[in-house]
């Protein structure tokens, strides 16, 4: 029995941490945030070169053949560095093809996704906060799709869209397909792009090798959002600890005030127990299909909700500077706010848990 990370997984995180600290020092991170969600090609390229674009893609197609747990551990580092780019969406497109693509479909797209040459985007939501696969209405007729998908995690650079369809199915639409229009949304988390996607008689490739793929893909996305928020939350705790150890008021470091210490302790107490929750949910995706959905919705609701609370406490601990655009805490807070909102609120996810657990 081993409930913990392996040496390889520790190495994966260490490698990514080294990468993000070198490639994404605070001033570059701020500059990229400022520039908005247009992808910084050089950062994407550098990250793809160390394998980040194809972690879960089978080795036969140029990926690393890793599991959702590995992707979640990587996602934690992306969250703690507020790494810009549609990494989460890209990983899901690869996962969708790996799980539900025909041999021909995999051969056609997976190698370019693994190398990062083709960038994936995800269009699950529909208007009225409809995120659940069972609520998707956009439908396919004779190989073409018509309708609007809302709040797609995709930007100008996206080459391949994973689209959620009526009946909980999913399909792929290429960015240059006819009838496809994207309307960018200006989000507060400028590290990740959003757009509405209008489709009119747009050719689509259905991923049907595994039926009802929408649900498991949503679950995978939920786990990755939780992992991202968890990374962001710990980064905000570390930043707050550092600040409390530096900032002086009343002739002493504010960390010396017990109220401050206790606020920080409460933040750590809220965050640390989430680690195993995320690990388990990610592991269940690959190993305990019967538990997959329940664990994923629990992790998404609990972690993203808690991470935003931690973030709000972090801002408070920074005082006036925390309320400014210049203090990096807001990058991570907005990251967590994205993770909390995208795919539906904690309330919606808890309602779903209540059904899945048959309360």
Partner 1 sequence: MELEFGPEYDRFREEVLAFLAETPRDVDRRSFLKAATERGYVYRSIPRRFGGSEQPFDPIRESIVAECFDASPFSWRLGPQSTGMLVPTLLEAGSDWQRERFIPPTLLGDFVWCQGYSEPGAGSDLAALRSTARLEGDEWVIDGQKIWTSDADHAGFMFGMFRTEPGADKHAGISYLLLEMDQPGIEVRPLRQITGATHFFEVFFDGARTKADWIVGRRGEGWRVARANLKYERNLGGGPRLRQRFAAVLELARTMRIGDRPASEDSVIRQRLAEIEGHVRCAETMTLRQLSAAARGEDDRVVLPMLVNKLYGTEVGEQIAQLGFDLIGADGLRAPERSTWDAVSTSARDTDWVDQYLFELASGIAAGSSNIQRNVIGERGLGLPRDLRAARARTPA
Footprint of partner 1 (CB under 8 A): 1-6, 69, 237, 241, 244-245, 253, 255-256, 258, 261-262, 264-266, 268-269, 272-277, 279-280, 283, 287, 295, 298, 301-302, 347, 349-351, 353-354, 357, 359
Q: How far is the CB of 295 from partner 1 (least distance, A)?
A: 8
Are the C-beta atoms of residues 209 and 199 closer than 8 Å to each other? no
139-141 vs 144-152, strand pairing mode: antiparallel
Is the CB of 148 or the CB of 240 nearer to partner 1?
Answer: 240
153 vs 300, beta carbon nearer partner 1? 300
SS3 of 129-186: the string is: CECCHHHCCCEEECCEEEEEEEEEECCCCCCEEEEEEHHHEEEEEECCCCCEEEEEEC
Nearer to partner 1, 127 or 245 (CB): 245
Give the nearest distance from C-beta 27 to partner 1 in angstroms.
Answer: 26
Distance CA 248, CA 251 (A): 6
In the β-sheet with 120-123, what is the strand arrangement from edge to edge? 120-123, 160-165, 169-174, 205-206
Helix (H, G, I), strand (E, B) or coil at 357: coil
Shortest distance, CB of residue 50 to partner 1, whole angstroms?
A: 23
Name the DSSP letter for residue 126. B
Task: Find the angle CA(189)-CA(192)-CA(194) to the nearest 5 degrees.
Answer: 95
Q: Residue 83 Cβ, how far from partner 1 at the closest point, in Å? A: 24
> Smallest distance, Å, CB 63 to partner 1?
20
The smaller minimum CB distance to partner 1, of residues 207 and 293, is found at 293
10 Å Cβ neighbour count for 69? 23
Structure tokens at 335: 């990251």
Query: Looking at beta carbons only, is 121 or 344 nearer to partner 1?
Result: 344
Maximum C-alpha span of the chain: 73
Instruction: Kindly state the smallest distance separating residue 348's Cβ from partner 1, in Å.
Output: 10
Rank residues 234 and 342 by Cβ distance to partner 1 and give the closer one: 234
């Amino acid at each position: 029995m081993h409930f913990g990370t392996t040496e390889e997984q520790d190495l994966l995180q260490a490698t990514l941490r080294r990468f993000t600290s070198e490639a994404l020092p605070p001033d570059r991170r701020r500059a990229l945030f400022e520039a908005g969600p247009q992808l910084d090609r050089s950062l994407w390229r550098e990250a793809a070169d160390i394998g980040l674009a194809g972690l879960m893609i089978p080795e036969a197609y140029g990926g690393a053949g890793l599991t959702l747990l590995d992707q979640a551990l990587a996602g934690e580092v992306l969250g703690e560095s507020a790494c810009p780019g549609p990494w989460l969406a890209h990983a899901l497109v690869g996962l969708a093809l790996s799980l539900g693509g025909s041999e021909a479909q995999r051969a056609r797209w997976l190698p370019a996704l693994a190398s990062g040459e083709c960038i994936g985007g995800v269009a699950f939501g529909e208007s009225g906060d409809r995120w659940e696969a069972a609520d998707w209405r956009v439908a396919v007729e004779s190989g073409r799709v018509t309708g609007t998908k809302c709040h797609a995690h995709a930007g100008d650079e996206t080459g391949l869209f994973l689209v959620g369809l009526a009946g909980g199915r999913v399909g792929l639409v290429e960015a240059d397909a006819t009838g496809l229009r994207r309307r960018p949304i200006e989000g507060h988390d400028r590290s990740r792009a959003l757009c509405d996607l209008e489709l009119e008689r747009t050719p689509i490739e259905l991923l049907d090798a595994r039926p009802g793929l929408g649900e498991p893909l949503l679950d995978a996305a939920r786990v990755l959002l939780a992992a991202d928020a968890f990374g962001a939350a710990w980064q905000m705790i570390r930043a707050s600890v550092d600040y409390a150890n530096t900032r002086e008021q009343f002739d002493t470091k504010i960390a010396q005030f017990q109220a401050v210490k206790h606020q920080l302790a409460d933040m750590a107490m809220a965050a640390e127990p989430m680690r195993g929750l995320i690990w388990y949910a990610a592991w269940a995706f690959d190993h305990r299909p019967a538990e997959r959905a329940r664990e994923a919705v629990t992790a998404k609701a609990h972690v993203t909700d808690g991470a935003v609370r931690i973030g709000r406490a972090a801002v408070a601990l920074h005082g006036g500077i925390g309320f400014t655009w210049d203090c990096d805490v807001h990058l991570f807070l907005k990251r967590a706010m994205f993770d909390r909102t995208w795919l539906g609120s904690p309330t919606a996810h808890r309602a779903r848990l209540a059904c899945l657990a048959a309360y």
